[in-house]
Amino acid sequence: MKKILLSALVAATIASGNSEVAPQDNINSFLESVNVKGDLRLRYENKDHTYRNRYRLRYSLSGNLNDNLRLETAISSGRGNPTSGNVTFRDGTSLSNYLEDLVEEDKIKLDIADIKYSFDNSWLRVGKAKHHIYRPVKTQLIWDNDIRLEGVNYGYKDDSTMIRLGVNQVHREEEPSGSKDINIFLAQYVKSQKLSYAKLNLGTGYYYYDGVKGNTTPYGSNKGNSVDGNALYTEDYGILETFAELKYKDVMGMPFKTALTLAYNTQANDNNFGYDISAQLGATKNIGDWKAGVTYRDVEKDSVYGAHNDSDFSGGGTDSKGYYCKVKYKFANNVDVAGWWNWSKLGDTELDYHRTQLDVILKF
8 Å CB contact between 185 and 154: no
CA distances from 362 to 39, 58, 212, 281, 334 (A): 5, 11, 39, 23, 6
Q: Residue 323's beta-bridge partner residues?
A: 296, 343
Residue 267 banded pLDDT, cuts 50, 70, 90: very high
CA–CA–CA angle 86, 273, 157 (5° rounding): 70
Q: State the sign of the Cα–Cα–Cα–Cα dihedral 243, 249, 250, 254.
A: positive
Strand, helix or coil for residue 97: helix
Q: Which of 102, 69, 67, 103 is nearest to 86 (CA)?
A: 102
What is the average pLDDT value for the chain, to the nearest integer?
89
Strands 87-88 and 50-64: antiparallel
What residue ranges do the domains of the chain occupy? 2-363
pLDDT number for residue 178: 76
Q: How much is the average pLDDT of 115-122?
A: 97
Provide the 8-state DSSP code for 217: P
- Greater confidence, 169 or 91? 169
8 Å CB contact between 37 and 363: yes
pLDDT number for residue 179: 87
Residue 40 — φ and ψ, nearest 5°?
-125, 120
Least confident of 170-174, 267-271, 297-301, 325-329: 170-174
pLDDT number for residue 101: 61
Strand, helix or coil for residue 3: helix
Distance, CA of 331 to chain centre: 25
8 Å CB contact between 355 and 45: yes
At 174-228, the pLDDT tens digits run 777 778 999 999 999 999 999 999 999 999 999 999 999 999 998 878 999 999 9
Residue 87 — φ and ψ, nearest 5°?
-130, 135
Q: State the sign of the Cα–Cα–Cα–Cα dihedral 214, 219, 224, 228.
A: positive
pLDDT number for residue 348: 84
Query: What is the distance between the alpha carbons of residues 45 and 49, in angstroms, rounded to a whole number?
Result: 9
Q: State the sign of the Cα–Cα–Cα–Cα dihedral 162, 74, 127, 9.
A: positive
Q: Residue 190's beta-bridge partner residues?
A: 162, 203
Query: What is the distance between the alpha carbons of residues 8 and 69, in angstroms, rounded to a whole number?
Result: 13
At 17-59, the pLDDT tens digits run 444 555 666 677 777 889 999 999 999 999 888 899 999 999 9
Q: DSSP for 100-131, please give it.
A: HHHHHTT-EEEEEEEEEEEETTEEEEEEEEPP
Distance, CA of 124 to chain centre: 19
CATH architecture of 2-363: Beta Barrel (2.40)
Query: What is the distance between the alpha carbons of residues 327 and 283, in angstroms, rounded to a whole number?
Result: 10
At 317-359, the pLDDT tens digits run 999 999 999 999 999 999 999 999 999 999 988 899 999 999 9
pLDDT number for residue 29: 74
Q: At residue 103, does pLDDT exceed 90?
A: no
Answering whether pTM is above 0.75, one says yes
